[in-house]
Structure 1
Amino acid sequence: MHRQRIASVVAAAAVAAGAALAIAGHSAASAAAGTALSSNWYASAPYLMPQSNNPPDPVAVMAATGQKAFQLAFILAPSGGGCTPTWDGTSAVSSDTAVAGVIDRIRAAGGDVSVSVGGYGGTKLGQTCANPADTAAAYQQVIDRYGLRAIDFDLEEPEYENDAAMTNELGAAQILQRNNPGLFVSVTMPGTSAGTGWFGTQLLDKAKGLGFTPDNFSIMPFDGGFSGAASQTAALEAFHTLLMNHLGWDSATAYAHEGFSGMNGKSDAAEYFYQSDFQTVLDYATGHGLGRFTFWSVNRDRACGASADNGICSNVPQNDWDFTKFTARFAGATPPVTTPPVTTPPTTTPPGNSCAAAPWNATTAYTGGAVVSYNGHSWTAKWWTYGDIPGGAAGVWTDNGAC
Structure 2
Amino acid sequence: MSLLLIAALTGGGYLGWQRWSAAQAAEANDPWIAGYVDVTATPSFAFEAPASKAGRDVVLSFIVAGKDDPCEPSWGTAYTLAEASEALDLDRRLARLEQLGGQIVVSFGGLLNDELATGCTDPGALRDAYAAVVDRYRVTTIDLDLEGEGLTDTAAGHRRAEAIRSLQAQRREAGTELAVWLTLPVSPAGLTEDGTTAVSLMLSAGVDLAGVNLMTMDYGSSRAEGQSMAEASIQALTSAHRQLSTLYSRAGTELSAATVWSKIGATPMIGQNDVSDEVFSLDDARKVNAFAREMKIGRMSLWSLNRDAPCGSNYVDLKRVSDACSGIDQGDLRFAELLGDGFIGRPEASATAVTMSEAQKENVVDDPATSPYVIWSEEGSFLEGTKVVWHRNVYQAKWWTRGDLPDNPVLNDWETPWTLVGPVLPGERPFEATTLPAGTYPDWAGLAAYEKSDRVLFEGVPYESKWWNQGDSPAAAASDPDGSPWIPLTEDDVIPVRDGRVG
TM-score (norm 2): 0.55
Does 1:331 pair with 2:320?
Answer: no
Structure that is richer in helix per residue: 1
Q: Deviations over 1:76-130 (max 9, x none)?
A: 1112342011111121114441221221121121212111110111122111112
Letter aligned with residue 111 of structure 1: G
Equivalent residue, structure 2, for 1:5: none
Give 3-state SS (helix, strand or coil) of 1:63's partner.
Answer: coil
Candidates 72, 78, 86, aligned match of 1:84: 72
Residue matched to 2:256:
250
Matched residue of 2:190: which SS? Answer: coil
State how 1:276-287 maps to structure 2 within 5 Å: 276-287=283-294
Task: Please say if residues 289 and 340 of structure 2, whose CA atoms lie closer than 8 Å, have aligned partners that are also in contact.
Answer: no
Q: 1:178 aligns with which of 151, 165, 169?
A: 169
Shift of 1:132: 4.2
* Match of residue 239 from structure 1: 240
Residue number in structure 2 paired with 1:44: 33
Quick one: structure 1 residues 176 and 204, their matched pair in 2 at CA, closer, same or farther if it must change by over 3 Å?
Answer: same
Amino acid at match of 2:103: D
**Partner SS state of residue 181, structure 2:** strand
In 2, distance between residues paired with 1:95 and 1:107? 21
Residue number in structure 1 paired with 2:215:
220
- Provide closer, same or farther for how the CA distance between residues 59 and 80 of structure 1 changes in structure 2, counting only shifts above 3 A: closer
1:188-229 deviation per Cα after TM superposition (whole angstroms, max 9, x unaligned): 011112111110111122122112231111111211224410
C-alpha spacing 1:66/1:209, structure 2 compared with 1 (3 Å): closer
Q: State the SS of the aligned residue for 2:158.
A: helix
- Displacement of 1:131 in angstroms is 4.2
Amino acid at match of 2:44: P
SS in 2 for 1:295: coil
Q: Which amino acid aligns with 2:305?
A: V
Question: Can you list the C-alpha shifts for 1:112-154, whole angstroms capped at 9, x where unaligned?
Answer: 2111110111122111112444322101111111111221111
What is the aligned partner in structure 1 of residue 480 from structure 2? none
Deviation at 1:179, TM superposition (A): 2.5
Q: Secondary structure at the match of 1:207?
A: helix
Residue type at the aligned position of 1:175: S
Q: Distance in 2 between matches of 1:234 and 1:276?
A: 17
Structure 1's 160 and 133: CA in aligned 2 closer, same or farther, altered over 3 A?
same
Distance 1:321 1:99 in 2: 28
Equivalent residue number for residue 288 of structure 1:
295
The match for 1:192 among 187, 208, 221 is 187
Map Cα deviations across residues 13-40 of structure 1 (whole Å, 9 max, x no partner): xxxxxxxxxxxxxxxxxxxxxxxxx975
Alpha-carbon distance in structure 2 between the residues aligned to 1:286 and 1:124: 32
* SS class of match (1:254): helix
Alignment of 1:143-182 (within 5 A): 143-180=134-171, 181-182=176-177
Confirm or deny: 8 A CA contact 2:39 2:75 kept in the other structure. no
Distance 1:310 1:121 in 2: 16
**Alpha-carbon distance in 1 for matches of 2:258, 2:123:** 31
* Residue aligned with 2:55, SS: coil
Secondary structure class of the residue paired with 2:108: strand
**Distance in 2 separating the partners of 1:222 and 1:327:** 14
| 1:291-345 deviation digits (Å, cap 9, x = unpaired) | 1111110111110111245221111111467011135424328xxxxxxxxxxxx
Cα distance change of structure 1 residues 173 and 40 upon mapping to structure 2, 3 Å threshold: farther
User: Contact 2:263–2:297 (CA<8 Å) still a contact in 1?
Assistant: yes
Q: Kindly indicate whether residue 200 of structure 2 is the aligned counterpart of residue 205 of structure 1.
A: yes
Structure 1 residues 123 and 142: CA distance shift in structure 2, 3 A: same
Aligned-partner residue type, residue 105 of structure 2: S
For residues 29 and 245 of structure 2, the distance between their equivalents in structure 1, rounded to whole angstroms, comes to 23
Provide the secondary structure at the position in 2 that maps to 1:314. coil
Distance 1:299 1:158 in 2: 26
Shifted more, 320-329 versus 279-288: the winner is 320-329
Q: Which of the pair has the greater relative contact order for Cα pairs under 8 Å at 6+ separation?
A: 2
Q: How many Å separate the matches in 2 of 1:274 and 1:107?
A: 31
Spell out, residue by residue over 1:274-295, the C-alpha distance to the aligned partner (whole angstroms, 9 max, x if none): 1111111111111112111111
Query: Following TM superposition, by how much is the alpha carbon of 1:246 offset from its aligned partner in structure 2, in angstroms?
Result: 1.6
User: Match of 1:388?
Assistant: none
> What do residues 20-72 of structure 1 show as CA deviations (whole Å, max 9, x unaligned)?
xxxxxxxxxxxxxxxxxx9757x411100123132222244x23454321001
In 2, distance between residues paired with 1:87 and 1:330? 32
* Equivalent in the alignment of 2:62: 74
What secondary structure, in the 3-state scheme, does the structure 2 residue paired with 1:122 have? coil
For the residues of structure 2 that align with 1:316 and 1:204, how far apart are their CA atoms? 35
Q: Distance in 1 between matches of 2:181 and 2:258?
A: 18
Q: 1:327 to 1:175 in 2, by over 3 A?
A: farther
Amino acid at match of 1:261: T
Answer whether contact 2:61 2:108 (CA < 8 A) is retained: yes
1:126/1:168 contact within 8 Å kept = yes
Confirm or deny: 8 A CA contact 2:181 2:212 kept in the other structure. yes
What secondary structure sits across from 1:262 in the alignment?
coil
Distance in 1 (alpha carbons) for counterparts of 2:170 and 2:132: 13
Q: Give 1:51's aligned amino acid.
A: T
For residues 4-15 of structure 1, the aligned pairs below 5 Å read none
Q: What's the counterpart of residue 327 of structure 2? A: 315
1:365 matched residue in structure 2:
none
Amino acid at match of 1:300: R
Residues 213, 267 of structure 2: 8 Å contact kept: yes
| CA apart distance, 1:262 | 1.1
- Name the CA distance, whole Å, in 2 between partners of 1:177 and 1:234: 32
**Cα separation, 2, equivalents of 1:140 and 1:39:** 26
Q: State how far apart, in whole Å, the 2-side matches of 1:321 and 1:107 are.
A: 25
- 5 Å-filtered alignment, 1:14-25, equals none
Quick one: distance in 1 between partners of 2:208 and 2:147? 19
Mapped pair 1:263 → 2:269: yes
- Partner SS state of residue 313, structure 1: coil
- Aligned residues of 1:46 and 1:70 also touching (Cα < 8 A): yes
Q: Give CA-to-partner distance per residue, 1:155-210, whole Å, 9 cap, x none.
A: 11121000011112222222232223222321101111211111011112212211
Q: TM-score, normalised by structure 1?
A: 0.68
